[in-house]
Amino acid sequence: MTTILDGKKTADALMADLKTQVDALAGQGVVPGLAVVLVGDDPASAIYVRNKEKRAQSLGINSVIYHLPFSTSEQELLDQVNALNLDPSIDGILVQLPLPDQINAQAVIQAIDPDKDVDGFHPMNMGRLWTNLPGIVASTPYGIMQLLAAYGIDVAGKSVVIVGRSNIVGRPLAGLMLNANATVTIAHSQTQDLFALTKTADILVVAIGQAEFIPAAAVKPGAVVIDVGMDRNAENKLVGDVDFANVEPIASAITPVPGGVGPMTIASLMIQTVNLAKKRLNG
Ligand SMILES: Nc1nc2c(c(=O)[nH]1)N[C@@H](CN(C=O)c1ccc(C(=O)N[C@@H](CCC(=O)O)C(=O)O)cc1)CN2
Ligand SMILES: [Mg+2]
């Protein structure tokens, strides 16, 4: 029997626990503050930002959305970020990606106060992760680790292959897996004989953005498969990077799309926002 790693159910359970923590903070006079900056009108980004706001509101987190026009200049966005850096009611700042072409995303990420960088994308937080120091960790990788933990899947000593080397998923996840004592390989578009490599993985994570790219023949029977993709197939149906119908029967556990990694991303953002508010209270 394959275990379906249910991100929605797991996120809901984590959020129920988090709500009691937010209530306790409120009792001590601290309301966690999350600022989300959205530039332009990308429909998918608008949905993600709305979902973050809904989740924050249901927990009692003060979420403030700054919706700037598509024509916003890099300097205008930097000014907004600097104002939020100085706002004592804001614990976490995130700038929704992708950004319009006229804005250098790295410059914006590096302008965020590393101690408010709730996305964990700032080089300071990436550096902390890779030196195994406490810091803020990107939400999707953090969510994947939480999901595996919720199902009792220990990564220590396992062979983990991550397909995709983005700053949002692949690289930070590799750091987290290494810190949890996995043996990690990062594969990417230049990797030779990719499917021979993926077939060696005890835990296979795929984050490349290509619909149903990983076939059953590329997966070791009994592997744990984590699908970070959110793609549209030829019938315009939302699917992942893994051919779920054919891989599910041979995997020991697998995430669905939707309802796997995605909900864990937003839950992780909320957890880290609350952790930052606790830091404001306790120093
Ligand atoms: N600043 C950031 N930008 C982006 C991030 C991020 O972590 N920080 N990640 C993604 C978008 N994202 C959150 O921002 C995100 C994407 C998808 C989901 C999600 O719940 N997906 C659902 C399916 C949604 C659908 O039906 O389309 C699922 O998988 O079940 C949550 C968060 C890029 N930008
Ligand atoms: Mg999902």
Tokens standing for 21? Answer: 């923590």
139-261 shares the fold of 30-113: yes
Bond prior to 123 in cis (omega within 30° of 0): no
Could you tell me the residue ranges of all domains in the chain?
30-113, 139-261
Q: Which of the residues are catalytic?
A: 52, 96, 119
Q: Which CATH superfamily is domain 30-113 in?
A: Leucine Dehydrogenase, chain A, domain 1 (3.40.50.10860)
Give CA–CA dist 167/39, Å, rounded.
Answer: 20
Angle CA 56–61–65, to nearest 5: 65
Q: Which residue is listed with tokens 């598509």?
A: 70
Of the bound ligands, which one is closest to the alpha carbon of residue 241? 2
Strand 224-227 versus strand 203-206 pairing type: parallel
Does this model's pTM top 0.95? My answer is yes
Q: Closest ligand 1 atom to the C-alpha of 44?
A: 27
- Which tens digits make up the pLDDT trace of 87-113? 999 999 999 999 999 999 999 999 999
Ligand 2 centroid from CA 80, angstroms: 31
Q: Which amino acid is at 238?
A: L
Looking at residue 283, what is its pLDDT?
Answer: 80
164 is known to lie in a ligand binding site: yes
Distance 237 CA to ligand 2 centre (A): 13
The predicted pLDDT at position 191 comes to 97
**Ligand 1 pocket residue status of 238, Cβ below 6 Å:** yes
ipTM score assigned to the predicted complex:
0.95
Six-digit token string for 204? 């296979």
Assigned CATH for 139-261: 3.40.50.720
280 a known binding residue?
no
